[in-house]
Amino acid sequence: MKKIISILLCIVLLFAVAGCGGEAASVNVSETPEEAKQRDDLEYTLRNLYAGPSTYTFDKSLEPLEFVASATLQGQMKEFFGSQVKYLDSQKLFEYEEFKGLCVVAVLVMQTGERQIYKDILITRVTDGKLLVVLQENLDEATQKAIMAKRDETVTVSDKFLKGCLAAYGKESKVFADWYKKCKDVVKINSTALSVLNEVKIAENVYTRGGRTLVWSEEFENVKKLSDTKMAYYRTMNNESLLITKDDSNLSFKDGVMTMYARPSTDDRYHYSIPDGVTTYGTMAYIGGYLEMRAKVPFEHGAWPSFWEKSYPGLYSTNYQAEIDIFEVFSNETELSSCLHKWGVEHYSGGIGTNTDFYFESNEVATDWHTYGFEWTDTEYRFYVDGNCYCVLYVDEANDFVKDPDVMGMEGFQDYHYVILNNFIFNNASSWAPAGTRLEDNETKVIEYSVDYIRLYQNKEKDKIIEFKK
């Protein structure tokens, strides 16, 4: 808490310092009286909230505590501080009888460009507004992974959490300790709040991925159609029995999530209706780095969801097009597969390296939210689920998996690639399908593939990216 106190107070004091460098906004000399009052009120609120004595036990009204996380304050922070404060928000941790808990998150941008993320647990007594417990910590990588895995859960409050509060501030929190002893078995805690809301989604640099920097992302926030995003439709797969659409009729956008639907067609000429490939063709191509997607993938009969890449047309000089299947699910309940392909006069698939398959422990686990990562270096590709590497494929010249002289060489796997998402299906008209995977003509279920975000991290000195005007 002391760090965030000092940082936020320093930010506030920037108002009074003339000629400050960095990204902080200076006071507008032509501001209106109303704007000046707004700025003064903001400074007063921050000073009151974050300038308490070291005992962490001081009386404050609940109004500033609620206001610190409000949309109004966030807007003012952005207006007055520029990009110094990237994100400031809160979510209710619990509220039961006389106590309320909030989790307040601040993502601060230093003048060096470094991002720092802080979490404050604030517990107040509703009856008199006394702020009894303030628990602050900087997020470590283990906590970040927990956020990704458990962002949407609500669980019974754990002894570990509240006992940690008591251990840190027991002398100042006897009233809270007595309440906790009485109510610990019935209080529910919102683990989304405890896990710092969605700052993993909003902060640009929570994961640096081996010292890399976030250079591109699509978060699917505040969009209504695909054309609002950094993605675009592009035909990558075909099946004449499918109605493949580009009109968003098989897409939805809600709460920062894009969902792709495969569903029975209402047109008798087609078996199913699916969206065309959702890609970065025409928007972005890249070489090298760490690509990551958080998604809820269908693992069920007939489903063929994929997360993959191909050499970008016009940006490769080999006589074959390289394909990287970060993963595909072949109509099963727990398994996904990674693979490399060369497309020339003939088609070859394979790759030299470790095991290319990953197995979830159950279908329930498989169909939950997970992060799927792909790390691209000069000599190898590494594939991840929830930060755990399950496959390494070597892509240097010594590990060419094709002996055909017409398509020999691995240069295509260091060319510019574009990213592709498909929610395809297997049916009786599929030109290829593993045994037992095809949907019958009378099957009518809907298959959903949801994506929270896609992010690309790169070493700016080494890796490459091209962004096209859409």
Residue 407 in contact with residue 344, Cβ under 8 Å?
Answer: yes
Give the per-residue pLDDT at 255. Answer: 84
Total residues found in the chain within this entry: 470
pLDDT value at residue 38:
56
Q: What pLDDT score does 70 carry?
A: 55
Identify which of 256, 254, 260, 258 has the alpha carbon closest to the alpha carbon of residue 275: 260
Single-letter amino acid, residue 144? Q
Q: What is the pLDDT of residue 392?
A: 95
CA–CA separation, 278 and 257 (whole Å): 14
Nearest-CA neighbor of 285 among 422, 460, 467, 420? 467
CATH assignment, 213-467: 2.60.120.200
Parts of the chain belonging to CATH 2.60.120.200: 213-467
The Cα 153–Cα 304 span in angstroms is 28
pLDDT at 196: 46
Does the CA dihedral 436-439-442-443 come out positive or negative?
positive
Q: What gap in Å lies between CA 328 and CA 307, rounded to an integer? A: 7
Q: How many CB atoms within 10 Å of residue 85?
A: 21
pLDDT at 155: 37
pTM above 0.75, yes or no: no
pLDDT along the chain (470 residues), means of 10: 36 28 32 61 47 35 49 57 55 76 64 54 68 51 42 41 55 66 73 49 48 85 94 96 98 94 96 98 97 96 98 94 98 97 95 93 94 95 90 96 94 97 98 96 96 91 92
